[in-house]
Structure 1
Amino acid sequence: MKMMNVLSKKKLGVFLQLCFLLCACSEKTLREGSSTSIVKLNTDDQQQLVVDNGIVSVTLSRPEGYILGISYNGVDNILESENKDDRGYFDVVWNKPGKTGNFSRIHGTNFSIIAADENMVEISFLRIWTPSMNETDAPINIDKRYIFRSGDSGFYSYVIFDRPEGMPAVEVDQIRYVYKLNKDMFKYMALSDTRQRSMPAMKDRLTGQNLAYPEAVLLTKPIDPQFRGEVDDKYQYSCENTDNNVHGWISFDSDEPMGFWLITPSNEFRNGGPIKQDLTSHVGPITLSMFVSTHYAGKEVTMAFEDGESYKKVFGPVFVYLNTDSSENDNSTLWSDAVQQLSKEVQSWPYDFPQSKDYFPPNQRGMVFGRLLVQDRYFKGGRFQYTNAYIGLALPGDAGSWQRESKGYQFWTRANAKGYFKIDNIVPGDYNLYGWVPGFIGDYKYNATITITSGGVLNLDSLIYNPPRNGPTIWEIGIPDRLASEFHVPDPYPTLLNKLYSEQRKDKFRQYGLWERYSDIYSDADLVYTVGVDKNKDWFYAQVTRITENKTYEPTTWQIVFEHQNDIITGNYTLQLALASASDANLEVRFNDAGVDPPHFATGRIGGDNAIARHGIHGLYWLFSIDVPSNVLVKGQNVIYLKQSRAINPFQGVMYDYIRLERPPIT
């Protein structure tokens, strides 16, 4: 009997250890994403509902669809603790044609359960527009959807825009999701492998000194003294759409380090193409999912709807991902895990689980493939060049119109080193095929409309791009890559630094106030560039206005000096002038006569991308092929005068991408 009691105690001990291990494994599996966790939807409360998949629990207002709370890893709510309608929301900036902008948080009026079982819940918060809303809301029916799946450490969201025939005209400038996190927890922001840092607080901005551009603040009395004397500006954390795929925040103030990430697996629903820039995360702590905006482009990319125009489009889904690190390692572990999760989401795109009939699953999409070669008869003997071209499908339009297009879907890829490309998962519809090639100027457009059908595959074989060219090159300045980064980006003022970019030379253009350095460097006379003597780094990155002693602004005139050693050939020379940015500018071009009026060429008033003020190295791309009559040139020394004539504020100007002078064609 005694022996049996001993054995029983041993067996009991083993049994208890096994139970402990099973519980521990169960907890670990749950937190890492268990396929056995069950999604629960609680709709007992008439004013709010809770969806819990065993890993993440989300509370939403009903029927509005505001996210009131996100519970994760033992923390009741990782969102901000103040205004409950200011935590997680969807908003639109819009206006009637010719009117000023309106900011509207989309307030659902009809809640419905689209799908619900133990594996997945999809819920809808629909705002139906009526004529009584004509002064307060954009005339679009907007359906906010949220998806919760078992095993996911997060949740998905997407939005459906629907304009039936008969709605009034409207212009839409911005569409986005906003998440405001607990400011006492999330203090470390991560945008990429190299763009990560501890961040100041929103209160620091309120006690700081406002600078020349509204979003920029000099932190003078920060809570944490390490930020004193730094500049904070949300546009310093922008990036191009092609790189805007995962960003967020890390908290070290919970029991275990925790990450909150916004993952965007596809850019097909964003506006402006792959190199359009937009916001990411910024001081708040705030994380944004930008679908449409006029940032770095201006009103040229506004979604403009005419009276009665119908429209439908799905934006998203995007994934809110949460992770923890029980090993208490540094921030790199959580960031690396978020990047891995991004890879999983990209591999799963397009998703097969959204329930909307307006969302196109994988089996309803098409594919295009082919090869794009470049042939420039004055480059390398006119031989075909392999390219790593950008190739994309967008709504039909002129060559290059994709960068100003905001209504339709866009599908982009990069050709390989030999020019082969494949674009898959294309939503059915009519498109033009567009392209542009780093190293060559201009825009490619396939000469026919492409119709994508459900499940269709289209082989375009070999395509040839003949970039703009009228004659052999006499000289060139810059690199034709749609960026001004090869030119001289000055050192920032030591008193206006963002320390994130102090050690990153390639991102130095993101520092505040660089436009003012032009007046310091060229205080007495404007830039003069001598071909054959000066290099790209002798060319200032932006032609901006000059501030005068009485704090007004004046135009600047740059000079390109070059020797033409041979006799002038009768006929037209060509100046290929490519701009990487234009901000409320008028660029006038004159040859060998700085005072000729009218100028030999003028762009007229162009550009609203604000890339100069918002720390970009490019905005929209502009290309001008300018005829240069032979009688305005001389044998010997010539001067081209480039005058940016608009001078009301410090942010007006242009950035150059590339300039090339061509002689008349060889017959």
Structure 2
Amino acid sequence: MFTFAAGSIIPAYAGSAGAPGVHATENTDRISVNNGKIDIEVSRSEGIILSIRKFDGKSWHDLGVTEEKAAYGEHGNDYANDPETAMYWDANADVAVVPPGLTPDKKGYYRLHAGQGHTSLIVNTPDRAEISTTADPTPLFPFAVDYRYVVFRGQSGFYAYVVLHHDKSQPEATLYQTRFVIKTVMDGTFDQWAIGDGKFLPIPQAAVVKQVTDATFQLADGTVKTKYLNSVYWAQVPVYGYTGKNLGLWMIEPSPEYHNGGPIKQGQTVHDNVLLRVLQSVHFGASPVHVESGEEWSKVYGPFFVYANQEPGSSSLWKDADAQLTHQKSLWPYTWVSSPEYSHARGDVNGHVQLSSGSAKGAWVILAPPGVDWSAQSKGYNFWTKVDASGAFHIPNVIPGDYSLHISGADQPTDFTQDSVRVTAHEKTDLGSLQWTAVTHGTRVFQLGTFDRSAGEFRNGDDARGYQMYLRYAKQFPDDVHFTVGKSSPSQDWNYAQWTLYNKDPEWKLSFDAHPSGGGQATLTVGFASSQPAHGKETDLRVSVNGTEVAQIHLPKTGTAGYRGGVQDSPYNLRVITFPESLLKDGQNTLGFRHADARPFRDFVPDPSSAVVPANGAPGQVMYDAIRLEIQK
């Protein structure tokens, strides 16, 4: 078992002056920590939080489930439901070779059970209490674990984080997911979810009628609930939670540096009475952590802040939580974290982007470990920002080391990459002016969409977090897609996903005017934000020019955006198709995009006898990022 030193520097927090001290008590079964504003109780046997309570100035309120206020089965269904646990940590992983005689849990699920770990109070002062739960690797989960809960004087909340370590004695393994889970009370304290920028959604209260697919349920009021519909881009929604009449409970993340997949990583936040802080996951095609046999690897996931507040109404609760986020960001990196894997000393990176074709404003600038695409990274740490209107960027608080710098977006089909960027502690690395040369293939004839890895600008792209989104297409496009450049609207006349289903015409038609000279080469550049084959391992998308087929595009499954409510997956695909300019004619021309395995909606009928799997399976799809046609004379 590995342990960490407990020494640290105690910071001064807003509101801590004159506040009651932190009081921790322990016995053989549990450890309790109370600072007059928040109270948590941790089980020694499993390292789980048994209760989370908030003091409102007069009385204490349970915010997490307890033995007395347990969640009921048809809501909060999360693995074994665990209706009496307020908060716990878990993971999903597997080993390359399962030892004889052992059977892994479903999906490689791992969580400490009684007697597997050691929970102790490692810091106990009037300013701070810290609880650590450690566990050795197991044959099926070959990672040493240390997860912490930390309470400070004067704060209405607590911190949590976990450190995972794979050492030289351990076998090859893959870590898919790790997270912390809070189960909130269901006694009327909370009635809304708050998911980014003051977006509030009522918590479904109707009874479950049946399960319709994975983690998706039909309710008695006719609606469907699924934990995937509240997914967000984690980097862009650093605060979310539950609100009620005057109490709120929030996940606040001052830095997303430890997430896999960079700024476009999507994942879950809330569902039923479940408040999640997922730290690593493979949803939407993101990459797992893969470690070889004998490889040394460790990573600090967190810390993040669990915040309980009291304000009159959801909007005020949200504004207060957002202000707390600003405060927590000002403290990052936290000086008190005692894990030796956590980097307190940081550096900054500055630069200026000069894009040959125009402004790079709004493009992502990403520092990622070298040797792997930034959207596929998982083992290390990512840091990012956006280019401002002047072309400048600044990335603060970067962990020292060697990185590759990537610039993605600005309507460019390919990213800019600069390797060998070294960041030094306590220093500013100025990269100067970065010359980004736009890739062109002649004179542009037209472009549909913007190259930004997303299909969000097309119809339904601004409201894609829905269940069975393909059913909208059947109603909205009765004659299928016939788009004319210069006349049609991308946000109305081009759907965000081309399903392997159609109403009348299996081929989407994109018409445009051209005046070719006849002797040049045409280049069609197509970006794909997502793809999912209807059958087999690859799509079979046929592309034609005025009826002549010019390409067959075979793409693997990139993720789950099509059936879990997204407009992009983490992996991105680009195809550059060339054909003779002579295929174009003077005047109107038509590009065709057709799934070879498409079928009419009338043949796609779910089997009513099966509550989980439709008779013909879920439809395949591709999501277009952008389509550009150029001619080289």
TM-score under structure 1 normalisation?
A: 0.80
Q: Aligned in 2, Cα 1:520/1:581: closer, same or farther, shift over 3 Å? A: same
3-state SS of paired residue (2:32):
strand
Paired residue type of 1:126: T
Residue in structure 2 matched with residue 602 of structure 1 by the alignment: 552
Any residues of structure 2 matched to 1:247-396 within 5 Å, and which? 247-252=240-245, 257-283=246-272, 285-297=273-285, 301-325=287-311, 329-361=312-344, 364-376=345-357, 385-396=359-370
Cα gap change, 1:521 to 1:251, in 2 (>3 Å):
closer
CA distance in 2, matches of 1:608, 1:565: 37
Structure 2 residue aligned with 1:208: 209
State how far apart, in whole Å, the 2-side matches of 1:189 and 1:521 are.
30
**SS class of match (2:283):** coil
Who is 1:528 aligned against? 482
Q: How far apart, in 1, do the equivalents of 2:249 and 2:340 lie?
A: 30
The answer (yes or no) to whether the contact 1:574–1:625 under 8 Å persists in 2 is no
Kept after mapping to 2: 8 A contact 1:442/1:623:
no
> Match for 2:567: what amino acid?
I
Aligned to 1:540: 495
* In 2, Cα distance between equivalents of 1:590 and 1:164: 50
Partner-residue secondary structure (3-state), 1:615: coil
Q: Secondary structure at the match of 1:360?
A: coil
CA contact (8 A) 1:144 1:158 kept: yes
Equivalent residue, structure 1, for 2:111: 105
Give the corresponding residue for 1:503.
none
Contact 1:235/1:615, CA 8 A, preserved across alignment: yes
Q: 1:508 to 1:592 in 2, by over 3 A?
A: closer
- Which whole-Å CA distance do the structure 2 matches of 1:425 and 1:562 have between them? 48
Kindly state the Cα deviation for residue 231 of structure 1 after the two structures are TM-superposed. Answer: 2.6
Distance apart, 1:433 and its partner CA: 0.6
1:512 aligns with 2:467: yes
| Counterparts in 2 of 1:279 and 1:179: CA distance versus 1, 3 Å | same
Contact 1:68 1:84 in 2 (8 A): no
**Does the residue aligned with 2:330 lie in a helix, a strand or coil?**
helix
Aligned residues of 1:371 and 1:419 also touching (Cα < 8 A): yes
1:160 aligns with 2:163: yes
Letter in 2 for 1:243: Q
Give yes or no for contact 2:581–2:631 (8 Å, CA) kept in 1. no
For residues 622 and 65 of structure 1, the distance between their equivalents in structure 2, rounded to whole angstroms, comes to 40
Q: 1:453 and 1:650, CA in 2 relative to 1: closer, same or farther beyond 3 A?
A: same
Look up the match of 1:425.
Answer: 397
Residues 1:412 and 2:384 aligned together = yes
One-letter amino acid matched to 1:122: E
Match of 1:484 among 455, 458, 464: 455
Distance across 1 between alignment mates of 2:343 and 2:210: 49
**What is aligned with 2:526?**
577
- The aligned amino acid for 2:111 is R
**Aligned to 1:231, which of 218, 224, 228?**
224
Q: Identify if the C-alpha distance between structure 1 residues 294 and 486 changes in structure 2 by more than 3 Å, giving closer, same or farther.
A: same
Q: 1:603: how far off?
A: 3.6
Other-structure match for 1:25: none
CA contact (8 A) 2:480 2:502 kept: no
Instruction: Kindly state the Cα deviation for residue 467 of structure 1 after the two structures are TM-superposed.
Output: 3.0
Deviation at 1:418, TM superposition (A): 0.6
- SS of 1:422's equivalent in the other structure is strand
More strand by share: 2
User: Which sits farther off after the overlay, 83-92 or 120-129?
Assistant: 83-92
CA drift at 1:434: 0.9
Alignment of 1:642-661 (within 5 A): 642-645=593-596, 649-661=617-629
Q: Aligned pair in 2 of structure 1 residues 646, 431: CA closer, same or farther (>3 Å)?
A: farther
Using the TM superposition, give the Cα deviation of residue 245 of structure 1 relative to its aligned residue in structure 2, in angstroms: 0.9
What is the one-letter code of the residue matched to 2:219?
L
Q: Encode CA deviations 1:275-306: one digit per residue, 9 max, x unaligned.
A: 211111121x1110011111122xx5121222
Contact 1:145/1:159 (CA < 8 Å) preserved in 2? yes
Show the counterpart of 2:102. Answer: none
- Aligned pair in 2 of structure 1 residues 87, 113: CA closer, same or farther (>3 Å)? closer
Specify whether residues 633 and 518 from structure 1 end up closer, same or farther in structure 2 by C-alpha distance, changes over 3 A only.
same
Equivalent position to 1:635, from 577, 585, 595? 585
Report if aligned partners of 1:579, 1:655 keep a CA contact under 8 Å in 2.
yes
SS in 2 for 1:345: helix
**What value does the CA root-mean-square deviation take over the aligned residues?**
2.6
**Cα distance between partner residues in 1 of 2:300 and 2:307:** 21
Equivalents in 2 of 1:64, 1:198: separation in Å? 33
On the 8 A contact 1:582/1:609 being kept in 2, the answer is yes
Partners of 1:171 and 1:639 lie apart in 2 by 47
Code of the residue aligned with 1:249 in structure 2: it is: Y
Can you give the 5+ residue segments of structure 2 that lack an aligned partner in the other structure? Answer: 1-12, 71-81, 99-105, 599-615
Q: Is 2:606 aligned against 1:620?
A: no
| Partner residue of 2:172 out of 169, 174, 185 | 169
Alpha-carbon separation, structure 2, partners of 1:471 and 1:559 = 23
Amino acid at match of 1:319: F
Among 543, 558, 561, the alignment partner of 1:590 is 543
After superposing the two structures, state which structure 1 stretch, 117-126 or 74-83, moved more.
74-83
Letter aligned with residue 187 of structure 1: D
Closer, same or farther: CA 580–461 of 1 in aligned 2, 3 Å: same
* 1:440 and 2:412 matched: yes
Letter in 2 for 1:301: S
Over 6 Å off, 4+ runs: none
| Offset at residue 116 of structure 1 (A) | 2.4
Determine if the alignment matches structure 1 residue 611 to structure 2 residue 561: yes
2:217 maps to which residue?
217
Gaps of 5+ in 1: 1-29, 221-227, 377-383, 490-505, 549-553
Task: Quickly say closer, same or farther: Cα 1:433–1:278, change in 2 above 3 A.
Answer: same
1:63-103 deviation per Cα after TM superposition (whole angstroms, max 9, x unaligned):
42100111221336321133576321011112234997211
Q: Which has the larger radius of gyration?
A: 1
Deviates more, 1:467-476 or 1:625-634: 625-634
Amino acid at match of 2:218: L
Q: Does structure 1 conserve the Cα–Cα contact (< 8 Å) formed by 2:447 and 2:626?
A: yes
Structure 1 distance, partners of 2:309, 2:193, is 14
Alpha-carbon distance change, 651 to 296 in structure 1, aligned in 2, over 3 angstroms: farther
Map of 1:91-170 to 2, 5 A cutoff?
91-97=90-96, 101-107=107-113, 109-129=117-137, 133-135=138-140, 138-170=141-173
Instruction: Give, in angstroms, the shift of residue 179 of structure 1.
Output: 0.1
Partner Cα separation in structure 2 for residue 98 and residue 618 of structure 1: 33
Q: What amino acid sits opposite 1:261 in the alignment? A: W
Q: Which amino acid aligns with 2:35?
A: N
Amino acid at match of 1:79: G
- Three-state SS of the structure 2 residue aligned to 1:86 is coil
Any idea what SS the aligned residue of 2:334 has? coil
Q: What is the distance in 2 between the residues matched to 1:141 and 1:116?
A: 24
Larger helix proportion, structure 1 or 2? Answer: 1
Letter in 2 for 1:96: V
Give the drift of 1:403. Answer: 0.9
Paired residue type of 2:186: K
- Once the two structures are TM-superposed, the CA of residue 577 in structure 1 deviates from its matched residue by 0.5
3-state SS, counterpart of residue 483 of structure 1: coil
Sequence identity percentage: 29
In the aligned structure 2, how far is the partner of 1:35 from the partner of 1:356? 29
Which TM-score applies when normalising by structure 2?
A: 0.84
